[in-house]
């Protein structure tokens, strides 16, 4: 798989430290503590149920690990608030055509084997095996690490846009994988 920006040595060092699970959990607690409330007590957490048996379901993959096709515009590594846009990944993409642009986590393992973060190959197998019905015609790559004003861009524009595309594609469920 092609390699792209990995960030400065300082960013790489910081990514190694944050890869330690106890550090990551400490960071998650800290972030969660200073986050504005997302869960509206009146409406709660949105929840839909599978409408059919798994073996008939069409599955889409969504990742915030910065995955995209090599010929697509890379994610913005300059804006400290991140990049709230997304890339459409065709269901029949060759895995060798995928790359990762994301300097805020250590993706050396995912560069070696994209299934670590974007398990399309396994989903193709599961469809062939009949565990799921089929793999969706397109999947979506986001870059996590979104902050500031861009959170609104994600929640008001790009995330709802992807949700509508999944409906157009008659997707029955989505698996989400973080970085």
Residue 68 CB, nearest distance to other proteins (Å)? Answer: 15
Query: Phi and psi at residue 174, in whole multiples of 5°?
Result: -130, 140
2 binds other proteins (CB under 8 A): no
For position 148 contacting other proteins by CB under 8 A, the verdict is no
Gap between the Cα atoms of 163 and 151, Å rounded: 16
Instruction: Assess 41 for contact with other proteins (CB under 8 A).
Output: no
| Piece in contact with other proteins (CB under 8 A), picked from 3-11, 74-82, 89-97, 171-179 | 171-179
* Residue 89 bridge partners (DSSP): 139
Count of chain residues binding other proteins (CB under 8 A): 66
Q: How far is the CB of 71 from other proteins (least distance, A)?
A: 24
Question: How far apart are the C-alpha atoms of 62 and 118, rounded to whole Å?
Answer: 8
Structure tokens at 56: 């008939």
Q: What backbone torsions phi and psi does residue 141 show, to the nearest 5 degrees?
A: -105, 125
The strand ranges marked E within 42-85 are 58-63, 67-69
Tokens matching residue 161:
């846009």
Residue with tokens 């698996």: 175
Cβ distance to other proteins smaller for residue 89 or 154 = 154
Interface region with other proteins, contact rule CB under 8 A, candidates 3-11, 74-82, 87-95, 115-123: 115-123
| Shortest Cβ 156–other proteins spacing (Å) | 9
Closest CA to 7 of 100, 97, 89: 100
Q: Which residues bind other proteins (CB under 8 A)?
A: 15, 18-21, 24-25, 27-29, 31-32, 35, 38-39, 44-50, 53-55, 62, 64-65, 105-107, 109-110, 112-113, 115-117, 119, 122-123, 126, 129, 131-132, 142, 144, 151, 154-155, 159-160, 162-164, 166-167, 171-179
């Amino acid at each position: 798989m092609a390699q792209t920006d990995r960030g400065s040595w300082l960013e790489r060092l910081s990514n190694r430290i944050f890869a330690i699970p106890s550090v990551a959990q400490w960071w998650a607690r800290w972030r969660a503590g200073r986050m504005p409330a997302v869960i509206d007590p009146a409406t709660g957490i949105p929840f839909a149920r599978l409408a059919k048996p798994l073996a008939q379901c069409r599955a889409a993959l969504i990742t915030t690990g910065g995955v995209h096709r090599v010929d697509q515009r890379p994610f913005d590594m300059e804006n400290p608030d991140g990049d709230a846009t997304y890339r459409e990944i065709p269901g029949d993409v060759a895995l060798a055509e995928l790359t990762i642009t994301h300097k805020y986590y250590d993706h050396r393992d995912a560069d070696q084997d994209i299934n670590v973060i974007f398990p399309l190959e396994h989903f193709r197998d599961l469809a062939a095996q009949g565990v799921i019905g089929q793999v969706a015609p397109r999947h979506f790559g986001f870059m996590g690490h979104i902050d500031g004003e861009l959170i609104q861009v994600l929640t008001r524009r790009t995330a709802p846009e992807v949700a509508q595309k999944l409906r157009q594609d008659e997707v029955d469920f989505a698996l989400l994988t973080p970085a």
